[in-house]
Amino acid sequence: MRRAGLRERLLAAWQIELLSEHGAGTFAAAASIVPLAVVLRNKAQRGASTTVRRNGRQHQVESASWRGAPGAVIALRSASETALLERIDACSTPLGEIACVAYGIKTGNNAANLARFATHDAYVPALRGAGEVWRHSLNWGGWFLHYGPHLTGYRRTSVATPKLVVQYIRNLSLPTRLVAAVDEEGRYYPLNNFSLISGGTPYDLFYLCALLCSAALNQVFALRFHDYNIKPAYLRQLPIRRIAFSTAPQERASLVDQGSRLPENALLPFVAEQLSARPQRADVVHDILAALARRLAALHRDPPGSSEIARIDALIDRIVWRLYGVDETEITRLGVPVPPNHSRPGR
């Protein structure tokens, strides 16, 4: 509330004439910091809009729109970026409404509660560092957690359930904001370097993973949140494409099998056909994305080379954009920069 009051006083007394976001590395002593330059004019000289420079682009933003923004937000989005977010939201449900999103486990004392060997049954496999969660795949570092009520972040609800694990800290200079992987067997206990997504959702966890790791939701996250912490509060707001699981099971399974056998150049038209059907067969696309994400997880565990990983990653991106009703021509027309795909799993 204090930050919101500060914003209100600032906007009442001054006009923000220019907001210029500079790249990481501007200051050698703090290379990871992304600085923001602000130019103010007094109220008597203020205009109707603010110039925003970001990602090598420049656009105008109506300053009046900031007064209706939640919290202490001063948005840097262009009109085209705002339109894109509204379009994605219109066909989506916030993640927090379909799944439980929570912080990882806080031990209170890592040195006392983590070990390299499980000396008794209370020790469980733990995920400790960011390097153990890659995009689509887990890479357990061999740590065990002494789990019990003595922990600061002990919870009575079970952590040993199938879940998505999301890196909690992502440097603002990194083009990929969301890095997530599925713990399908519910084996691992992630510490508070991670956020957890679980619950009795009808959506396949690998489908959710495909969305979170996609260029589309990375773009949405970057446009809405300017923070190196990937907080559960942010994740709960992520727009998850709504799926009506209405296709008859036998027909759905048959169509998914048909799609899985198609070459890539034929799969995108096949996806478009499912999405244009009446009633829409988005559940078929849901299953195709989940299968592709499972394939990526398997490739990261036993990688034959980065080229296939990058190829499937790019295919998922294209399908996800289509699922949200945005084709590549429209992305270009809107001027929305799309983060590059990375064959390196952790980035």
CATH number, domain containing residue 159: 3.90.220.10
For residue 44, pLDDT over 70 is answered with: no
Same domain, yes or no: 232 and 256: no
Same domain, yes or no: 143 and 278: no
Same domain, yes or no: 186 and 60: no
Same domain, yes or no: 268 and 214: no
Alpha-helix residue ranges (DSSP H) falling in 174-281: 205-212, 215-224, 232-235, 249-260, 264-276
82 inside domain: no
Confidence (pLDDT) at 342: 46
Interval 334-338 mean pLDDT = 53
Same domain, yes or no: 207 and 312: no
Task: Mark which of 49, 76, 103 sits at the end of a domain.
Answer: 76
Q: What pLDDT band is residue 79 in, cutting at 50, 70 and 90?
A: confident
Confidence (pLDDT) at 78: 74
- H or E element, residue 156: none
Rounded to whole angstroms, the Cα distance separating 221 from 123 reads: 35
- Helices 282-301 and 264-276: crossing angle in degrees, nearest 10, is 150
For residue 123, pLDDT over 80 is answered with: yes
340 inside domain: no
Same domain, yes or no: 231 and 258: no
18 inside domain: yes
For residue 39, pLDDT over 80 is answered with: no
99 inside domain: yes
User: What range defines the domain where residue 137 resides?
Assistant: 95-240
Same domain, yes or no: 266 and 230: no
Confidence (pLDDT) at 74: 61
Same domain, yes or no: 205 and 330: no
CA-CA distances (angstroms) from residue 255 to 243, 248, 262, 323?
16, 11, 11, 16
88 inside domain: no
21 inside domain: yes
Same domain, yes or no: 171 and 222: yes
For residue 12, pLDDT over 90 is answered with: no
Same domain, yes or no: 121 and 218: yes
Interval 254-283 mean pLDDT = 96
Same domain, yes or no: 233 and 289: no
Q: Which residue's entry shows tokens 């109506």?
A: 62
84 inside domain: no
Q: What is the mean pLDDT of the chain?
A: 85
Domain count, the chain: 3
For residue 332, which phi and psi values (nearest 5 degrees)? -65, -45
Same domain, yes or no: 33 and 146: no
Confidence (pLDDT) at 303: 63
89 inside domain: no
SS3 at position 58: strand
